[in-house]
């Protein structure tokens, strides 16, 4: 098992309702950084490139871990919660910043950064006031067609084929305080609703899964991801568990995070490895490589 542990800092509001000491030897690796506030909005997303390296943020910087356990900071000094890796291998993230006192009347500002495969970092959206979701011209939630997706605070799920294409409403769930939005390669959008999952397919058809978490608060489910077999995986921080949902809707607890850790996201990489991103009650974040544990069962 590979273990990469960091300590993140500062929250953000990226829910639908608005998201060094080191042991260098494989298979155990630990990295520590600094944190300042409650974990309510940790980084939740893990992405993987074609070479099998995985990337994750601790909301202070973005890390890369290679398949043989070599770790490095690839984007420093960014407050990033979600990531997107395009087909060309470019990595994207948002830097979100809180201003007290406000700057030009704005308490929040953001920019979108891009890291090219050669390591060059640039801004694709310059610093501007407010939140990225206010503009709907960029999204980290994309399907295999590169369509962009958003979810509003009232449960309206929308998409665009390109940043300048007409905005299309896929569903209006008419509910509030939804959790994180996830998008599958086939264009299905998934949102968490107080311990349950709602899936909206590209035609707008809804599927409500049986309750995944025994808890009913907004943060009871966070990251959702899939594997090539069509299983979904949902991180339930309050239950300290990862639940797998089969295509038939059967739920199975496939991983448990020992106290004080709580799962918040994950990914299944092309080599079949399962990676789990966790946060602790003291605001540490760590990445664990769990395969083949999560591959058991149906």
Residue 34 clears pLDDT 60, i.e. is over it: no
The answer to whether residues 130 and 112 touch, using CB atoms and an 8 Å cutoff, is: no
Question: Residue 32 — pLDDT band, cuts 50, 70, 90?
Answer: very low
Tell me the pLDDT tens digit for each residue of 142-189.
Answer: 999 999 999 987 789 999 999 999 999 999 988 767 778 999 999 999
How many domains is the chain built from? 1
Task: Give residue 21's pLDDT.
Answer: 27
Tell me the pLDDT tens digit for each residue of 77-114.
Answer: 999 999 999 999 999 999 999 999 999 889 999 999 99
* 3-state SS, residue 267: strand
Residue predicted with more confidence, 214 or 39: 214
Residue 7 clears pLDDT 60, i.e. is over it: no
Mean pLDDT over 54-70 rounds to 92
Look at 11-25, 47-61, 140-154, 159-173 and tell me which has the smallest mean pLDDT: 11-25
* 3-state SS, residue 113: strand
Question: What CATH number is associated with residue 14?
Answer: 2.120.10.30
DSSP β-bridge partners for residue 236:
241
Question: Model's pTM, two decimal places?
Answer: 0.85
C-alpha–C-alpha distance, residues 67 and 88, integer Å:
19
* % the chain with pLDDT above 70: 83
Tell me the pLDDT tens digit for each residue of 276-292.
Answer: 999 988 888 899 998 66
Six-digit token pair at 199? 């899936």
Residue 262 clears pLDDT 70, i.e. is over it: yes
Task: Give residue 149's pLDDT.
Answer: 96
Asked if omega into 150 is within 30° of 0 (cis), the reply is: no
The answer to whether residues 61 and 78 touch, using CB atoms and an 8 Å cutoff, is: yes
The answer to whether residues 280 and 237 touch, using CB atoms and an 8 Å cutoff, is: no
Domain that holds residue 43: 2-295
Task: Give residue 145's pLDDT.
Answer: 94
Task: Give residue 67's pLDDT.
Answer: 84
C-alpha–C-alpha distance, residues 46 and 32, integer Å:
18
Task: Give residue 14's pLDDT.
Answer: 38
Residue 31 clears pLDDT 60, i.e. is over it: no
**Average pLDDT, whole number, for the chain?**
83
C-alpha–C-alpha distance, residues 123 and 113, integer Å:
4
Mean pLDDT over 60-81 rounds to 93
Look at 2-16, 147-161, 220-234, 256-270 and tell me which has the smallest mean pLDDT: 2-16
């Amino acid at each position: 098992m590979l273990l990469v542990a960091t300590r993140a800092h500062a929250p953000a509001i990226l829910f639908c309702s608005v998201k060094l000491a080191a042991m260098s030897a494989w298979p155990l690796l630990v990295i520590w950084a600094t944190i300042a506030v409650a974990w309510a909005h940790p980084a939740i997303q893990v992405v993987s490139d074609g070479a099998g390296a995985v990337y994750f943020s601790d909301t202070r910087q973005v890390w890369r871990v290679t398949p043989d356990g070599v770790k490095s900071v690839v984007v420093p000094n960014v407050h990033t919660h979600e990531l997107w890796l395009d087909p060309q291998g470019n990595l994207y993230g948002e830097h979100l910043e809180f201003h007290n006192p406000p700057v030009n009347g704005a308490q929040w500002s953001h920019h979108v950064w891009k890291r090219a495969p050669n390591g060059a970092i640039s801004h694709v959206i310059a610093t501007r006031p407010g939140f990225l979701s206010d503009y709907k011209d960029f999204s980290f939630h994309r399907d295999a067609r590169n369509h962009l997706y958003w979810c509003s605070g009232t449960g309206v799920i929308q998409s665009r084929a390109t940043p300048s294409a007409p905005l299309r409403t896929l569903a209006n769930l008419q509910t509030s305080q939804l959790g994180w939005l996830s998008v599958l390669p086939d264009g299905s959008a998934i949102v968490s609703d107080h311990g349950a999952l709602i899936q909206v397919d590209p035609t707008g058809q809804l599927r409500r899964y049986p309750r995944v978490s025994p808890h009913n608060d907004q943060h009871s489910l966070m990251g959702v991801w899939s594997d090539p077999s069509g299983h979904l995986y949902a991180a339930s921080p309050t239950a300290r568990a990862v639940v797998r949902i089969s295509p038939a809707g059967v739920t199975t607890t496939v991983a448990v995070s020992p106290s004080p850790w709580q799962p918040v996201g994950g990914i299944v990489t092309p080599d079949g490895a399962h990676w789990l991103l966790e946060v602790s009650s003291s605001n540490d974040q760590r990445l664990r490589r769990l395969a083949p544990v999560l591959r058991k069962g149906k």
